[in-house]
Amino acid sequence: MKTKLFSLQIFVGLLIIVLTLALGCKPQNPSTAVIGDAAQKVYVAPGQYDEFYNLVSGGFNGQVSVYGLPSGRLLKIIPVFSQFPESGWGYSEETKPMLNTSHGFVPWDDAHHLAFSTTNGEHDGRWAFINGNNTPRIARIDFGSFRTEEILEIPNSSGNHSSPFLTENTEYAIAGTRFGFPLDDAGSNPDVPIDSYRENFKSVVSFVRIDPESGQMSMGFQLLFPGMDFDLSKGGKGPSHDWAFFSCYNSELAHTLLEVNASQKDKDFIMAVNWKKCEEYVKAGKGKVLKSRYAHNLYDDTKHQANSVIETETIVLDPRELKDVVYLMPCPKSPHGCDVNPTGEYIAGSGKLAAVVPVFSFQKMLQAIENKTFDGEYEGMPVLNYDAVLHGEVKKPGLGPLHTEFDDEGFAYTSCFVSSEIAKWNVKTLEVVDRIPTYYSIGHLMVPGGNTAHPHGKYVVAYNKITKDRYLPTGPELTQSAQLYDITGGKMKLLLDFPTVGEPHYAEAIPASLVKDRSVRFFKIEDNQHAYAAKGEKEAKVFREGNKVHVNMTSIRSHFTPDNIEGVKLGDEVYFHVTNLEQDWDVPHGFAIKGNDNAEILIMPGETCTLKWVPDKVGVIPFYCTDFCSALHQEMQGYIRVSPRGTNIALSYSTNKKPDSESK
């Protein structure tokens, strides 16, 4: 027993030494990693603008947060898949349809990856797309409004993880299912034994078409696969424009304890899909129509109203029948990241359990396809010979390589989760030229424009899963964080830590100059086509439709019209349709009413928003403006009187009406 313990100690000791050697010397004190002029490099003087917008996925908060770089200042949280009481997103009558799905109203999601629209592979500053992982969806945010303008549900999918990465000209957004699931003839999820996985479970990859003018999404086509799990994806560029690449794990087709059972095979795959050819097959009528129900939600900026439509079909292709649209490249050990370099020639597949990052060559892939250099088949799909398609392997990048981004000078940056570091390597020679620690457990990383044809370079940002001792403690849950590194010199240099909202996954950054002049400042009140808008105080009114009471109300610094309302009765549903009459930037008004089992609304200038309220008690209830709008903001308030059922107090409303006794 004693000897055993002793040898265990020796073993642990040796292990520590070996690990230290393997990982190189990490600085003992994290703060020593910061260089002298770091403060100067991230300092953005009061009143000055940041150089980049950095949109960061919020993970389990279902939102997107907007930071300025290099300062790391938080500029805005854009509600996407989750209700946001602060602005009324998903609470107001106008925005509730945005969260509609085939399951009904789903008020939350897990938002992982941002993809900025590109033209010829370069950022064009029009839209940002983001995936909902849990209840498969893709959302489109407009860079004019910084608002979610559209959400499309992805049918026949479970766990929309490898999404919403775009093709080079934003022709398609990609969506591959992470969880194989049983799919029957009607596109529904039938009741089958879980251990019939092999037989019944499928995986679907979707290509969502994007209208080049409006950005509006529609289902292009879907590809049907055996129940392998798709992890991440990227569109090709330049020579590989017609292709999209996916990392796949669980080629074992396991359905339990995947941690072990999906890590059995030495190699899984990077899958190459020729989407252009798929498009042609669809045009040629090779697709089959599959009944599928999915929601398509669009926000209209003149009606100030979202509309949700349930779509009923998709077009499905079977790559195993078509033969020449899908090829598998063997990739060590459950690959995670699948990243295409700026020229579109190299694809880095990061096997998160592997000791190398294999880099595939697109030219070699084409060659191998032409020469049929196959290593057999996987479930009826051709597997290309590893050596035939390999550009080379990055040796010892670090432990647990996850994702790779690229700069404008031919270097790649790979995040290593287990060893908490970024490895910089030369894309041509595959030599690791620099490495730097992150604090701690880096997941995604991002170089501004690092997944485009022309990276903007300058920085790499690490999005970390763990912060431990980096910030003041805040109870059991600590902030997650981003870290900004300078990459302009030969050596990466840590400049800044900043906390992030939610859990950051993939992020993108775009030069402010491409976006900032596109901002909507206000909505023209003349163009407001909301069904209950009050365009001017003369149009303010209260009217009844059965037990529904509609209040068409105006707001302006600093009063509501009407602000005294009587004749509402218990059992009524009251809809406050508040129109903000302001026509200047940065003057929203808010509206909240006591005891409402709902949120507030924030109404942008020129917009109309509706808050529903079902009074639960008789009495006189106050409402007020929640957004400090002027020196007399505190006076921006009013009353609504709720009378018992069956009383016959007529509906009446006013502002600034003096009692008869006073006006005499």
Partner 1 sequence: MFRKNSFLLAIIVIGLIACTSKKEAEEAAKKSPTPSEIASKQPEVHGTEVKDVELTNPLNQVWVEAGKKNYDLKCLACHKLTDEKLVGPGWAGVTKRRQPVWILNMITNVDMMLDSDPEAQKLLEECLVRMPNQNLTQAEARELLEFMRRNDGEK
Applying CB under 6 A, the residues found at the interface with ligand HEC are 556-557
**Footprint of partner 1 on this chain (CB under 8 A)?**
126, 142-145, 147, 149, 182-186, 190, 192, 196, 199-200, 202, 214-216, 288-291, 298, 300-303, 307, 309, 311-313, 316, 318, 320-321, 518-527, 535-538, 554, 556-559, 561, 581-584, 587, 630-632, 656
- CA–CA gap between residue 452 and residue 547 (Å, rounded): 55
636 binds, among partner 1, ligand HEC, Cu ion, none (CB under 5 to 8 A by kind): Cu ion
Residue 563 Cβ vs Cu ion, minimum distance, rounded to whole Å: 12
574 token code pair: 């009251």
Task: Pick one of Cu ion, ligand HEC, partner 1, none as the site partner of residue 18 (Cβ within 5 to 8 A by kind).
Answer: none
589 touches which of partner 1, Cu ion, ligand HEC, none (CB within 5 to 8 A by kind)? Cu ion
What's the token pair of residue 513?
């100059």
| Residue 413 vs 560, nearer CB to ligand HEC | 560
Q: How far is the CB of 68 from partner 1 (least distance, A)?
A: 20
Q: How far is the CB of 552 from ligand HEC (least distance, A)?
A: 18
- Whole-number Å distance between alpha carbons of 469 and 277: 51
Total Cβ atoms within 10 A of residue 399: 18
Nearer to partner 1, 118 or 341 (CB): 118
Q: Which is nearer to partner 1, 630 or 647 (CB)?
A: 630
CB 227 within 8 A of CB 203: yes
Q: Which residue is nearest to ligand HEC (CB)?
A: 557
Site membership for Cu ion, residue 629 (CB under 5 A): yes
With binding defined as CB under 5 A, does residue 636 bind Cu ion? yes
Which tokens belong to 625? 């403006």
Q: Which of 69, 31, 25 is nearest to 49 (CA)?
A: 69
Of 316 and 592, CB closest to partner 1? 316
- Cα–Cα distances in angstroms (integers) from residue 521 to residues 88, 119, 122, 298, 607, in the given order: 19, 26, 26, 21, 12
CB 485 within 8 A of CB 495: yes
At closest approach, how far in Å is the CB of 558 from Cu ion?
5
Question: How many CB atoms lie under 10 A from the CB of residue 108?
Answer: 16
Q: How far is the CB of 586 from partner 1 (least distance, A)?
A: 10
CB of residue 558 vs ligand HEC: minimum separation in angstroms?
7
User: What is d(CA 371, CA 364) in angstroms, rounded to the nearest whole number?
Assistant: 10
Shortest distance (Å) from residue 520 CB to partner 1: 5
Structure-token pair, residue 256:
């339990």
Q: Name which of 154 and 581 has its Cβ closer to partner 1.
A: 581
Residue 557 CB, nearest distance to ligand HEC (Å)?
Answer: 4
Tokens of 439: 């604090």
What is the pattern of x (binds Cu ion, CB under 5 A) and - over residues 414-433? Answer: --------------------
Distance CA 327, CA 384 (A): 7
Nearer to partner 1 (CB atom), residue 197 or residue 439? 197
78 vs 58: CA distance, rounded Å: 10
Residue 324: count of CB within 10 angstroms of its CB = 11
Provide the minimum distance between the beta carbon of 328 and partner 1 in the complex, in angstroms, as a whole number.
18
Select from 64, 210, 347, 625 the one that contacts Cu ion (CB under 5 A): 625
Helix (H) or strand (E) holding 322: helix 319-322
Q: Which two tokens stand for residue 61?
A: 């908060």
Nearest distance, CB of residue 290 and partner 1, angstroms: 6
Alpha-carbon gap, residue 547 to 496, rounded angstroms:
57
Specify the residue, 209 or 557, whose C-beta has the smaller distance to ligand HEC.
557
Residue 409: CB atoms within 10 A of its CB come to 11
Euclidean distance between CA atoms 115 and 55, whole angstroms: 10
CB of 577 to ligand HEC, least distance (A): 19
Burial of 396 (0-12, 13-18, 19+ CB in 10 A): middle
- Give the span between the Cα atoms of 519 and 13, in whole angstroms: 59
Integer Cα distance of 18 and 493 in angstroms: 26
Cβ nearer to Cu ion, comparing 165 with 624 = 624
Q: Does residue 603 touch Cu ion according to CB under 5 A? A: no
Question: Residue 334: exposed, middle, or buried by beta-carbon count in 10 A (0-12, 13-18, 19+)?
Answer: buried
Count of residues in contact with Cu ion, rule CB under 5 A: 4
The answer to whether residue 589 forms part of the interface with Cu ion (CB under 5 A) is: yes
185 interacts with, out of ligand HEC, Cu ion, partner 1, none, CB within 5 to 8 A per kind: partner 1
Question: How far is Cα 210 from Cα 127, in angstroms, rounded to an integer?
Answer: 11
- Position 123 contacts Cu ion (CB under 5 A): no
Q: Name the residue nearer to ligand HEC (CB basis): 442 or 556.
A: 556
Q: Which stretch binds Cu ion (CB under 5 A): 18-26, 56-64, 516-524, 589-597?
A: 589-597
For residue 4, the 8-state DSSP code is H
Q: Which is nearer to partner 1, 102 or 145 (CB)?
A: 145
> What phi-psi label fits residue 107: left (phi over 0), alpha (psi between -120 and 50 degrees) or beta?
alpha
Give the DSSP H/E element, type plus range, for residue 27.
Answer: none
Among the listed ranges 165-173, 295-303, 530-538, 634-642, the one in contact with Cu ion (CB under 5 A) is 634-642
Query: What is the binding site for Cu ion (CB under 5 A)?
Result: 589, 625, 629, 636
